């Protein structure tokens, strides 16, 4: 039998900051004898972020002990049958050429080291070209006007098939790992130093200039940026600002340079003016653009604003500005 023994180092741990929670809260010492199991009987979601690591880990735990007095082994395998995921809506098997499937074929052995009750992980590494160019791999934006209804489509089923422990949990021997990507810029952004100057008939009305900053840190004071591609997000204006959710546009970020996408149906056309930039250290945008409001006698609004990063959600984990600054 072909067995791969996987023992990973701290390098993998960094990638897991952006994955599902996996800690002592999952441990179950109520079993009378030691047994191997997965923390969930249904599925996990693993979200990878382009530019921050296209890999994640999968590993088992052991139950029935307070303290582990020796190394244990758990053997797993990735199932390739469609029947393994047929009960899950919108799930499809992750294609073999989308990840390091050759390396992970057959039996995968991981170690639960002495003194620990969580097993080491085996690493799934995604092909950046094939995975990121497939629309089905994109996360769901969860906004009505994001235009993005994909995400969580691809998955890999994993099953525990053998262990040196006394037994395998009959109900927690398998897990379905759903996989998607999310743009690094996806998140909630407060607005600062916003200057809005109207123009009509070629005349700039400086006396009608408006200056705004966010009145509170609530969601209504945030621009919402949702994933549209590996390096593209769709911006929707805050509801309690001058814009009142009336403008939306796509932004693509490459090497700190920001470009605007095509007009979005139902919203005014937004075009850039002056400098537009993204600071990868602070995660803030500096935007300068204009748009026309026909209902206001074709008034052109010239806007300069700073989008101040507040937070983002990755696999239901709230990653705040302070939290992410630790990794810069």
**Residue 97: is it exposed, middle or buried by C-beta count within 10 angstroms (0-12/13-18/19+)?**
exposed
pLDDT value of residue 67: 86
Share of the chain above pLDDT 70, in %: 82
Q: Do residues 207 and 168 share a domain?
A: no
Average pLDDT of the segment spanning 131-157: 69
> Which segments of 147-263 are extended strands (E)?
154-163, 167-168, 174-181, 187-200, 203-204, 210-212, 222-229, 232-236, 248-254, 257-260
Last residue of a domain, one of 118, 153, 181: 181
Q: Do residues 252 and 172 share a domain?
A: no
pLDDT value of residue 26: 45
Last residue of a domain, one of 181, 212, 231: 181
pLDDT value of residue 90: 66
pLDDT value of residue 81: 76
Q: Do residues 163 and 26 share a domain?
A: yes
Cα 287 to Cα 267: distance, rounded to the nearest angstrom: 18
Confidence grade of residue 328 (pLDDT, cut at 50, 70, 90): low
Domains: count for the chain: 2
Q: Do residues 226 and 107 share a domain?
A: no
Last residue of a domain, one of 140, 165, 181: 181
CA angle 195, 297, 235 (to 5 degrees): 45
Q: Do residues 253 and 271 share a domain?
A: yes
Nearest CA to 99 among 134, 73, 74? 134
Q: Do residues 157 and 202 share a domain?
A: no
How crowded is residue 264: how many other Cβ atoms within 10 Å of its Cβ? Answer: 19
Q: Do residues 144 and 273 share a domain?
A: no
pLDDT tens-digit readout, 254-264: 988 999 999 99
Which residues fall within 8 angstroms of residue 269, CB to CB, at 6 or more apart? Answer: 263, 291, 292
Q: Do residues 62 and 97 share a domain?
A: yes
Q: Which domain range does residue 31 map to?
A: 3-181
CATH number at residue 252: 2.40.128
- Please, what is the average pLDDT of the chain? 85
Q: Do residues 212 and 88 share a domain?
A: no
Confidence grade of residue 327 (pLDDT, cut at 50, 70, 90): confident
Cα 25 to Cα 48: distance, rounded to the nearest angstrom: 23
Q: Do residues 92 and 48 share a domain?
A: yes
pTM: 0.83
pLDDT tens-digit readout, 42-86: 668 899 999 999 999 999 999 888 889 999 999 999 998 766 665
């Amino acid at each position: 039998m072909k067995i791969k023994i996987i023992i990973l180092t701290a390098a993998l741990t960094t990638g897991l900051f952006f994955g599902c929670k996996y800690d002592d809260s999952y441990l179950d010492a109520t079993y009378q004898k030691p047994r191997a199991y997965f923390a969930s009987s249904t599925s996990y979601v693993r979200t990878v972020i382009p530019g921050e690591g296209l890999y994640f880990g999968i590993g088992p735990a052991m139950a029935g002990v307070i303290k582990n007095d020796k190394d244990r082994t758990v053997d797993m395998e990735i199932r390739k049958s469609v029947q393994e995921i047929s009960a899950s809506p919108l799930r499809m098997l992750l294609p073999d050429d989308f990840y390091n499937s050759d390396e992970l074929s057959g039996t995968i052995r991981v170690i639960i080291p002495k003194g620990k009750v969580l097993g080491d992980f085996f690493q799934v590494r995604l092909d950046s070209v094939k995975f990121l160019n497939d629309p089905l791999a994109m996360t769901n934006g969860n906004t009505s006007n994001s235009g993005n209804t994909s995400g969580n489509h691809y998955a890999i089923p994993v099953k525990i098939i053998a262990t040196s422990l006394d037994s395998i949990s009959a109900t927690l021997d398998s897990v379905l790992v759903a996989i998607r990507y999310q743009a690094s810029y996806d998140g909630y952004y407060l607005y600062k130093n916003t200057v809005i100057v109207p123009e009509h008939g070629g005349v700039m009305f400086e006396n009608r200039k408006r200056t705004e900053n966010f009145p509170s840190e609530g969601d209504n004071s945030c621009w919402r940026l949702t994933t549209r591609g590996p390096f593209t997000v769709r911006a929707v204006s805050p509801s309690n600002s001058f814009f009142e959710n009336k403008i939306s546009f796509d932004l693509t970020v490459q090497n700190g340079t920001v470009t605007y996408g095509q007009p979005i149906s139902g919203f005014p056309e937004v075009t850039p003016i002056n400098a537009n930039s993204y600071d990868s250290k602070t995660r803030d945008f500096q935007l300068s653009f204009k748009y026309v409001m026909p209902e206001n006698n074709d008034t052109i609004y010239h806007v300069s604003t700073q989008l101040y990063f507040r937070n983002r959600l990755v696999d239901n984990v709230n990653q705040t500005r302070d939290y992410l600054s630790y990794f810069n």
